[in-house]
């Protein structure tokens, strides 16, 4: 059994895209909504088997373990509201989820902002987004890799696509800057400056 787990906030324009890319591969959908003010809640409830509303925290990480605890699946598949499974990954996941050898699958990310590839900033971007329940523990710290509990790990080249709007990236940064360290704020400021340069000259996918 696979549970799709999501922590979302104000993702109404793209939330259906995310869920539709995975819904036929999973047995259950669990969504934690961090106090969205748009139609995210309505959309989420139209799909979710379990829907929980919690306060806004500036990023998804503090609620990931809570969401995982609500899921009943042996396997947990994670997507944020502005992400979706590529067609290649949709074909791969059914084969992965019946593999009893590995417990954790790190999945490659393709990163876009306003449809423009920002991979030159992100580099090789891997995240553990499919795993057997209990094989890793999420940190409440923003943008921190979880603690892995199993050495049985594999890497999947077929990507998750992370496609965000520049406007939303800046809005999230304003919210998150209130609850992250000075060092993290400086890193994000550098990231935003780099993205601005790419958006000036980049071509859409």
Beta bridge partners of 33: 8, 53
Provide the CA 13 distance to its chain's centre, in angstroms: 16
CA atoms within 13 A on the CB side of 201: 3
Q: What's the per-residue H, E or C state across the chain?
A: CEEEEEEECCCHHHHHHHHHCCHHHCCEEEEEEECCCCCHHHHHHHHCCEEEEECCCCCCHHHHHHHHHHCCCCEEEECCCCEEECHHHHHHHHHHCCCCCCCEEEEEEEEEECCEECHHHHCCCEEEEEEECCCEECCCCCCCCCEECCCCEEEEEEEEEEEECHHHHHHHHHHHCCCCCHHHHHHHHHHHHHHHHHHHHCCEC
- Residue that the structure tokens 């890793």 belong to: 136
Q: Domains in the chain, ordered, with CATH?
A: 2-201 (3.90.550.10)
Sign of the alpha-carbon torsion through 35, 181, 189, 7: negative
Q: pLDDT digit of tens for each residue in the chain (205 aa)?
A: 999 999 999 999 999 999 999 999 999 999 999 999 999 999 999 999 999 999 887 778 889 999 999 999 999 999 999 999 999 999 999 877 666 689 999 999 999 998 899 988 888 899 999 999 999 999 877 667 899 999 999 999 999 999 988 888 887 777 666 556 667 667 777 878 888 888 887 666 5
CA atoms within 13 A on the CB side of 23: 12
């Amino acid at each position: 059994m696979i549970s799709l787990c999501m922590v979302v906030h104000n993702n109404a324009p793209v939330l259906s895209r995310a869920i539709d890319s995975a819904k036929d591969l999973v047995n259950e959908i669990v969504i934690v909504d961090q106090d969205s003010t748009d139609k995210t809640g309505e959309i989420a409830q139209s799909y979710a088997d379990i829907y929980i509303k919690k306060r806004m925290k500036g990023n998804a990480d503090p609620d990931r373990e809570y969401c995982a605890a609500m899921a009943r699946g042996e396997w947990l598949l994670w997507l944020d509201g502005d992400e979706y499974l590529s067609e290649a990954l949709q074909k791969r996941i059914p084969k992965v989820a019946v593999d009893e050898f590995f417990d954790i699958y790190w999945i490659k990310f393709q990163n876009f902002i306003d449809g423009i590839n920002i991979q030159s900033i992100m580099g090789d971007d891997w995240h553990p987004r499919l795993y057997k329940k209990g094989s890793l523990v999420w940190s409440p710290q923003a943008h921190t890799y979880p603690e892995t509990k199993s050495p049985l790990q594999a890497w999947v080249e077929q990507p998750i696509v992370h496609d965000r709007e520049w406007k939303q990236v800046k809005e999230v940064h304003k919210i998150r800057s209130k609850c992250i360290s000075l060092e993290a704020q400086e890193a994000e400021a550098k990231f935003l400056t780099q993205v601005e340069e790419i958006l000036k000259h980049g071509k859409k996918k």
